[in-house]
Structure formats: C-alpha cells, structure tokens
Structure 1
Amino acid sequence: MAQRSLLTRAIWFLVVGWWATPIVVNAAWLCNLTIILIPIGFKLINLVPTVLSLAEPRSLSDPASARGQHSLVVRAAYFVFVGWWLSFAWANVAAFLSVTVVGLPIAFWMFNRLPYVTSLYRFHG
C-alpha cells in the first residue's frame, strides 16, 4: 500500500479519525468481552492507528512477529485477568488525549502499544 502524505493523514484525523477512533476502540473492547468475537476485537485493536490517522496497517503474518513473544498460555491468562480491563482504560485515555493538541503525541504512542497492553503482543519492525 502506498504511503499517504502527512497532509492527507492530518485531514483524515481532523475529519474522521478523532471521532471514529473511540468508536472502534470501544467496539473492539465489546468484542473482546465475548469468546466468539475476540478475533474481531483483536483485528480492530490492530487497526486503531489506521483509523486514527491512516497509518499503515500492522502485519500479523510476518514470521518475525512470533519471535520474542510470550507463550499463548501466558498471553491468554494475562488477557483474562488484566488485559481486557486495562486495554479498555488505556485505549479510552488515549482516545481522550488524541483530541487535545498537547496529548496527541502521547495518544499515538499509547495506541501503538495497545496490542501489548491487551494481550502482551509485541510488533517487530
């Protein structure tokens, strides 16, 4: 996919990203409350930076992404006991910060770490 210009991304953020991101974040969280919809919730979490500012979507198919990850059992236990509620608070604080000029850089940083806060998933690259 072609890299989008900074102007295009800024316009997207001002017109769509600032209000659509909290909707996607909370839809992902609601999906994560169910067993059946967890895969959709995780996909939505991975799309949050794209919804916010048209950032390039993250690739989950990269074989390097499996290196250095916690085991699936550890990640699942973390999600059940911590990740589901911490990611809800983390994402909503980030969404609030994203509508402030001062908080925007912090919001991007927080959204980029949302997969880790949710399920200890680390992106490489």
Structure 2
Amino acid sequence: MANQHSLVVRIAWFLLVGWWLTLLAINVAWVLNVTIILLPLGIKIINRVPYLLTLKRRDTGFDPDGVPQTSLLVRAVYFVFVGWWASFIWANVAWFLCVTVIGIPFGIWMFGKLPYVTSLYRLDA
C-alpha cells in the first residue's frame, strides 16, 4: 500500500508508543462497550487497535468472494451474550503476546481479528 509508514517508523512507534497505547485503548473500549450508550465509540476504538499498535493501515481492498456481513440482529445478540467478555479476554491476551518477543506475530494477528471476536464484524466483507 502506497500510504503505509516505513517499517522502521512502525517499529519505533510500537516500541515507544504502540504497546502501552494499545493496552489503554482496548480497556477503555471495553468499558465503553459495557455502557451500551457509548458502544459505537468503543467499537470504533476496537476497529482502530491494529493501527494503534503498529501504524499499519488496513488494506481497503474488496472481498473477492463477496461474502456479506452477518445480520446486525445476530451481531447484536452475539455481542450481548459473548462478544463483550470474549473481546476483553482476546484483546488482553493479544496485548500480552505483543509485549513478548516470540508472541508478536500471533498477537498482531489476534488484534486483526478483534472486531470479529467483538461483534462478528468482518473487515474484509
């Protein structure tokens, strides 16, 4: 992607800012999600977590299979019964993996899946 930050800048960001900002963001987002009223803001923060961690912009390409999103009603029910607590655990485990040298690749992958764990939202759909 042409507008992507260089790898050196992204590594410096991760080491100086990304690791602690991400922990703050995922926990603030979780608190906002639990309030229900501030849920949209919490979801916005969750969708930005991978960028906050490493400054990596998401690919804005389209899904070649044309898979539609899960219905909003199903996503809302999932969030109420599973997503709010599962995303909290998922995000904090991902953060822990990111602050260990060996777990960084898996932690970054987990952060990429965080919107799906939270509300079944697929970023590639």
Letter in 2 for 1:34: T
Letter in 2 for 1:48: V
Alignment of 1:66-77 (within 5 A): 67-77=67-77
State the TM-score, normalized to the length of structure 2.
Answer: 0.90
After TM superposition, which residue ranges in structure 1, 4 or more long, deviate above 6 angstroms?
A: none
Q: Structure 1 residue 58: deviation in Å?
A: 7.0
In 2, Cα distance between the equivalents of 1:11 and 1:56? 16
Identity across the alignment (%): 57
Aligned partner of 1:3 in structure 2 is 4
Paired residues of 1:21 and 1:48 also in contact (CA < 8 A)? yes
Paired residues of 1:31 and 1:38 also in contact (CA < 8 A)? yes
Q: Structure 1 residue 5: deviation in Å?
A: 0.2
Letter in 1 for 2:8: L
Letter in 1 for 2:123: F
Q: Structure 1 residue 85: deviation in Å?
A: 0.2
Aligned partner of 1:98 in structure 2 is 98
Q: Structure 1 residue 35: deviation in Å?
A: 1.7
Paired residues of 2:62 and 2:124 also in contact (CA < 8 A)? no
Paired residues of 2:79 and 2:119 also in contact (CA < 8 A)? yes
Q: Mark the runs of 5 or more structure 2 residues left unpaired by the alignment.
A: none
State the TM-score, normalized to the length of structure 1.
Answer: 0.90
Q: Structure 1 residue 57: deviation in Å?
A: 5.1
Aligned partner of 1:83 in structure 2 is 83
Aligned partner of 2:111 in structure 1 is 111
Aligned residues: 122
Q: Mark the runs of 5 or more structure 1 residues left unpaired by the alignment.
A: none
SS in 2 for 1:122: coil
Paired residues of 2:22 and 2:49 also in contact (CA < 8 A)? yes
Letter in 1 for 2:70: H
Paired residues of 1:46 and 1:58 also in contact (CA < 8 A)? no
In 2, Cα distance between the equivalents of 1:63 and 1:33? 31
RMSD: 2.0
Q: Structure 1 residue 88: deviation in Å?
A: 0.2
